[in-house]
Structure formats: structure tokens, C-alpha cells
Amino acid sequence: MSQETVASLTPVELERRLKRDGIFLRLPPFVFKIQSPIPIVAQGIAELYADYELLADDTEFADFHVSVVYGRRLPRRLCVFELDGQRPFTPLAVGEAFAFLEWGMNWCVTGYCHTLLTLHAAVLERHGRVLIMPAPPGSGKSTLCAALMLDGWRLLSDEMALLDPVTGLVTPAPRPVSLKNGSIEIIRRRAPTASWGPTAHDTQKGTVAHLRASSSSVARATEPGLPGWVVFPQYLADVPAQLLPRPKAASLMQLAQNSFNQHVLGKAGFDALADVIARSDCYDFSYAQLDEALPLFAALPLPS
Amino acid sequence: MTLAPINLLRQVWRDPTAIAAMSLTDWDLLIRQGRAADLLGQIAQACDAGCGFMNIPSQPRQHLQSAALLAQRQRRELVWEVEKIREALGAKGLPLVLLKGAAYAMSNSAAACGRLVSDVDILVRRDDLAAAESALLQRGWVSAAQNEYEQRYYRRWMHEIPPMKHFQRGTVIDVHHAILPLSGRLHPSTDRLLVAARPLADDPTVKVLSPLDLVLHSAAHLFHEGELGKGLRGLLDIDRLLMELGGPAQGWADLVARAHELELQRPLFYALRYAAILLGTPVPTAASEAMAAVPGARPSGVLLSLMDQLFLRALRPPHASTSDEFTPIARFLLYVRGHWLRMPPWLLTQHLTRKLLTPTKPPKPAQTPTATGAA
């Protein structure tokens, strides 16, 4: 018997189950129990998690029991993210409910998972080697990540690198790619047939929409990868795309700054980061046009 | 009462060898209740000691190991921070006496195993308060009071000055000159606590409260507190400290006598009662009886059954599986009680009116998801 996926439920059935007891969803490497009475959350899950494994209702263990619920009974204008009844964040508009779920799930991982070193970075793989792109918001990291995924790179994550300090490998956690404002239209134009989640307008970050992770990335979600490149992207209007080697020491410092929990792991964390840098070719990358960027990445030499 | 028992949590400390036989469903519930009560670090330590991490199924193990790593990290930071505070006070010839989490950690108490410590609490003589404050200020700790009223309110009525936060490291010290508010009803003697304080074995310039006083302070704190979301953690501290008192009969007799001396017989009564009921702490019958015989320790029958209804709800983890329909009201009533104990009615009225008219930021504002990098 093939495993059940979100796609095996009708939208009505999915909405009903989310509203009632919630669903157990395997989002490798984690299992989330998700519950929500808000239709927009069901829409987002139906669109974006169609290929993901749906576990039985009597699943024994979930890493996180999360929900997005209405903030008040009436009027239903606000929604709140809950981790097992605890509300770590202030409420947001109901239109942002699906994005809120995504943000909340990211927070669960970065807040509670310290057996893995977590880095704020987009992560992709090609020819068996992993590309890590750590960068602050506004650097064009997610846009570049979406474009590379559409160009055939395997998505490990658009938001966080999960580095196993014991094996030195990156654990994939492929989930939808979060795009903002102008990037949404740019990526829509490149992939007119791609699946998108609900658009959240007027969030703190402007307009936000999520692009579905490629099926091949989801299918290979349990295959870890060996770091190969660390690239620090920066979007700069009106410059030609440029990939410049970056000294390793400076790359290590920058990588450490993008880590959520290197300090928790102490020396083991530092050693794990140093190990990534030692294995990887490091670059600074600035770009204005994706069409110029993609050939440079396609031509990246395998690290020595 | 329809309250579910908290058997899994209790078993972790009372029968740790049984952990190995737990089902995944049990693990799911234990991790959830432990996370809600902020006890994952302590659970991790106890499970590791009980059956070894490697005998725990991998899914729950990840969460326990994560919590253990976080606790280790905080422990390292704490040792450093205590050293910095010792230097600051030592430069002015002031002694350092640690309270609560910092005291447990620095004296290597079992209560510190896996426990997270956010702030360092210290105790100084009231006459030394100004000197201690200026010594800390000179080394970079700045008052985190939000406004003038808060400054005045703390200084006039509380048992501590407003928290002081280090301008670079962001670490926080709570400087106490007593263990309960000046405006409250009980006034345990700070001098007596300081006289009994013990130097650390490996660093005699740092002192912690005596083992008996650590229990009593923990009980006083927990049973005057209005916000009991992390109450079970406080009760577990008491459980761990009691188990360390050692000297079987004499230790308990001394504890009861000391409680009387410090006017803390009521909080200790509650502590022994609820630790025994909720965590199965083995309190000897003789000790319970001696406790109940101290004047003012045991509340009247009616009051006690009310307190049972309230505390047995509020001290459970704040989680759906350990709450019933009366839990919210129990928490609310204990919140009101916390204020009631802290100040006389006229002061409470004045304080609340003031708070209502000048809205200040809540001490820990809920964050927006985008501010945390989660987005």
C-alpha cells in the first residue's frame, strides 16, 4: 500500500480534519501535529504540502503540536499561533494565518532543536554537494533560492540549514519557499504553472506568498548532503552578477553570525561551522538579474 | 476533582528505571507536559541518569538532548556571570550571597540539574544596598526600571530593587535585601539568613543560603507567587532540595524549627503538602505531624480545602492534558492572592490604580514572529 499524502484527501475533508482533531504531517526531519479552524490554513496546506506524507490519526509521537486559531470568537479578524497551547507571538490578521503557521513552525525548530546546528540560510544541492546561502532579510536569498530550485537544484530549505555536528552533513527540511513583495511576481513570471499558497497582504514584511517545494526535493527529503559551497548573496540594483571568492576566515565569522544556536552547542558548534568552511568553496555574490545569476551557479566548479 | 494525575512527570524522579519501558505515546505526553512546565532540562537529566539517553527512542531523545544542551550552556554562562558579580562586589569589600537558581548551581545541588537559570539573584544587607548597587553600576549593570514610579515602588515596598541589566551582556541581576516584600505580612529576618549562609567549598568568597534556608526561601517564593505557570518547577526545586537535606530525622526537625524561627511555617507547610501530593516527595510522617503542630502552619480546614482546590490545579503544568474547566479561575484567584499577600489593601488599590492610569510595557512583551528571525 502506498503511503497516504495530503493530496489523497479532498480539500473539504482536509479542512474538516484540520478543524476537528488536526492532522499528523511528516515534514522531514520532524512530525508536526497541525490543527486549525481557519480555511486559509487548509488552503495553504492543500496547495503546498500535497506531496507530504500524512500520518495516521493514532500516530504516537509528534515533535510539535501546533495550531493557528482565531484570536477571539468574534469578530474573527485576528489569529494566533499556538505551540501546544502556549502563545509565543502577538496575534496577526486572519489573512496571514497560513504564513503565521509557517513562521511558527520555523520558530519551533530554531527554538527547540539544539542537537542540530541551525543557520539562517537557504540550502540547495546539486551533484551531491550542498550550497549554503546565509544572508539577512532583504538580500535576495529566497528569490535566488526559488529560482535555483526551479532551475533543477534540489531544495533542502529556503530558511534554515540544519547541520548535524556529528556527521558534518546537512539534514534536509524542504518546505515551501517564502517570497516577498516584488519577488513574488518575478518568480511567478519564471514559473507560470507553479503552485502557490495564499497571499498574505500587509504583513510586517509587506506581501508574502509561499511557493511549493519541487516534487523531487520532497521525494529526497531524507537524503542528507555534504556541504560544498558557502555563498553570501546580496541583491544590488543595476550591478552585473558577480561571484567573488571570499577568504575562509571571514566566511567562518559571517557563518557564525547567521547561526541561531551555535552558542548553545559551544565548542562542538564552532567546530561544526569550521568543518563546513573547510569543506566548502566560499564566495560573495551580488546580483540584480536572476538570468545572469543562474548560469554562474550552473557553472560553479565542484569544490576541491 | 476531575484533574488528571501527572504520573509520567512524577515517575521521572520517583522511579526513573521505569522510563525505559515507556511507550511512544507516553513520551509524547511527557515531552509536552515538560515543555509547558519548562522542565525539559530537568527531565532530560533525570532520564539520562535513570536509563541513559541511548535507551530512549530517538524522537523524544532529540528533544531531551536539546534541553540538556541548553541547560549546560546556561550553566557555563552562569559561572562566568557569578564571577563577574563577585569581582564587582569584592572590589568594594562586599560579600556575595547567592539565592535560588544561581545558589543551586554554584553549590552543585541536585536542584540545579538541567534547570534553566535566567537571572542571578543575590542577597545583601539593607544597609549595604546603596553600596552594592553602585558597585554593580560601576561594572556595567544598569537599572531596568521602566519609569520613576516603578523605581519608587520597588524601593519603598519590595524586597528587591528593580532588576539591573548588564549593558553589554544583557544579563540580569536581582538584588534582594529581604526574601519577601516589605509591604507583605511575613518578614523573615535577612540578618539571620546571612549569618547562616555557607561559603562554597571551592570558592569561600562566594556564599549561598544554608541548605535549610534554601528550602525555606524556595517555599516562601513559590507560595507568595501570583503567577504559577512555572509553579511545578518551583515545587521540583523544593523536592530536590529536601532530598538533599540528608540527616534523616534531624534534618526534617531542624527544617521545621527553622521555618518557625523565620516566620515561614505556612509556606513550608504548603510546600511539604503539595510536593508530597503532586511529586510524591517522601516526607516522613513525623515531619508532617511536627509541621502541622507549629502554630500558624496549617490553615483551617475550610481554607485548606480551598487552597487544595487552587494549588493542585495551578501547580500542574499549564497544559491541556493537566487542566480542567476550573484551572483558569484557580490561576486567577492565586494571582489575586499573590497581590493580596504582597501588600495591604490600601496600597494595592493605590498601586493598581496607578498601573491602570500609566500603562507600562509588560515585562516580557510577546514577540512578533518577524522580530525573531522565525520568518
Q: Is B265's pLDDT higher than 90?
A: yes
Range of the domain at A227: 117-175+213-298
Same domain, A108 and A138: no
Does residue B28 sit in helix, strand or coil? Answer: helix
Interface check for A115 against chain B (CB to CB < 8 A): the answer is: yes
**Residue after which a domain boundary falls, among A63, A88, A112:** A112
Chain B positions touching A88 (Cβ under 8 A) are 366-367
Beta strands in chain A (DSSP E): 23-27, 30-35, 54-55, 64-70, 78-83, 92-93, 117-126, 129-134, 154-157, 160-163, 170-171, 177-180, 200-203, 206-211, 226-235, 242-245, 281-287
Contact status, residue B334 vs residue B25, Cβ threshold 8 Å: no
Rounded to two decimals, the pTM is 0.92
Same domain, A91 and A132: no
The answer to whether B372 contacts A107, with C-beta atoms less than 8 Å apart, is yes
Residue A20 domain flag: yes
Interface check for A180 against chain B (CB to CB < 8 A): the answer is: no
Residue A157 domain flag: yes
Same domain, A70 and A149: no
Residue A180 domain flag: no
Interface check for B73 against chain A (CB to CB < 8 A): the answer is: yes
Residue A80 domain flag: yes
For cell 482546590, name the residue. Answer: B309
- For chain B, what are the domain ranges? 7-358
Interface check for B364 against chain A (CB to CB < 8 A): the answer is: no
For cell 486559531, name the residue. Answer: A69
Same domain, A83 and A121: no
pLDDT at B24: 95
**Interface predicted TM-score (ipTM) of this complex, two decimals:** 0.92
pLDDT at B26: 95
pLDDT at B280: 94
Q: Which residue of A has its CA nearest to B33?
A: A84
Cis peptide before A295 (omega within 30 of 0): no
Same domain, A158 and A282: yes
Interface check for B58 against chain A (CB to CB < 8 A): the answer is: no
Residue A203 domain flag: no
> Inter-axis angle of helices B40-51 and B58-90, to 10 degrees?
120
Same domain, A60 and A149: no
Contact status, residue A104 vs residue A81, Cβ threshold 8 Å: yes
CATH number at A243 reads: 3.40.50
pLDDT at B373: 47
Among A35-49, B170-184, B249-263, the range with the most confident prediction by mean pLDDT is: A35-49
Same domain, A226 and A122: yes
Q: What is the mean pLDDT of chain B?
A: 91
pLDDT along chain A (304 residues), means of 10: 85 96 96 97 97 94 97 84 95 94 96 95 97 89 96 96 96 96 94 94 90 96 97 93 96 95 92 97 96 95 90
Q: Quick: pLDDT tens for B34-61.
A: 999 999 999 999 999 988 899 999 999 9
Same domain, A283 and A158: yes
Chain B positions touching A107 (Cβ under 8 A) are 369, 372, 374
Same domain, A94 and A229: no
pLDDT band at B97 (very low <50, low <70, confident <90, very high): very high
User: Could you tell me where the DSSP H helices lie in B91-184?
Assistant: 100-106, 129-138, 148-157
Q: How many domains does chain A have?
A: 2
pLDDT at A304: 78
pLDDT at B170: 92
**Backbone dihedral region of A291: left (phi > 0), alpha (psi from -120 to 50 degrees) or beta?**
alpha
**Alpha carbons A19 and A34: distance in angstroms, whole number:** 9
pLDDT at A135: 86
pLDDT at B365: 43
**Alpha carbons A278 and A273: distance in angstroms, whole number:** 9
Q: What share of chain A is helix, strand, coil (3-state, %, to 5)?
A: 35, 30, 35
For cell 557555563, name the residue. Answer: B76
CA distance to A138, B347, B350, B359, per residue, from B353 (Å): 45, 10, 5, 10
Interface check for A289 against chain B (CB to CB < 8 A): the answer is: no
CA distance to B146, B351, B359, per residue, from B362 (Å): 10, 15, 9
Does residue A231 sit in helix, strand or coil? Answer: strand
Residue A160 domain flag: yes
CA distance to B5, B8, B33, B309, per residue, from B324 (Å): 12, 18, 15, 11
Same domain, A164 and A283: yes
**Residue after which a domain boundary falls, among A112, A136, A153:** A112
Partner residue facing B60 (CB), from A61, A89, A102 = A61
The answer to whether A265 contacts B24, with C-beta atoms less than 8 Å apart, is no
**Residue after which a domain boundary falls, among A76, A95, A112:** A112
Residue A138 domain flag: yes
Q: Give chain B's end-to-end CA distance (angstroms, integer).
A: 42
Contact partners, residue B176, CB within 8 Å, separation at least 6: B99, B121, B122, B123, B124, B159, B160
Chain A positions touching B36 (Cβ under 8 A) are 84-86
Same domain, A149 and A293: yes
The answer to whether A90 contacts B368, with C-beta atoms less than 8 Å apart, is yes
Same domain, A164 and A229: yes
Q: Quick: pLDDT tens for B194-221.
A: 999 999 998 899 999 999 999 999 999 9
The answer to whether B60 contacts A265, with C-beta atoms less than 8 Å apart, is no
Checking DSSP bridges between strand A117-126 and strand A92-93, what pairing results, if any?
unpaired
Does residue A174 sit in helix, strand or coil? Answer: coil
Residue A186 domain flag: no
The answer to whether A264 contacts B70, with C-beta atoms less than 8 Å apart, is yes
pLDDT over 90 percentage in chain B:
75
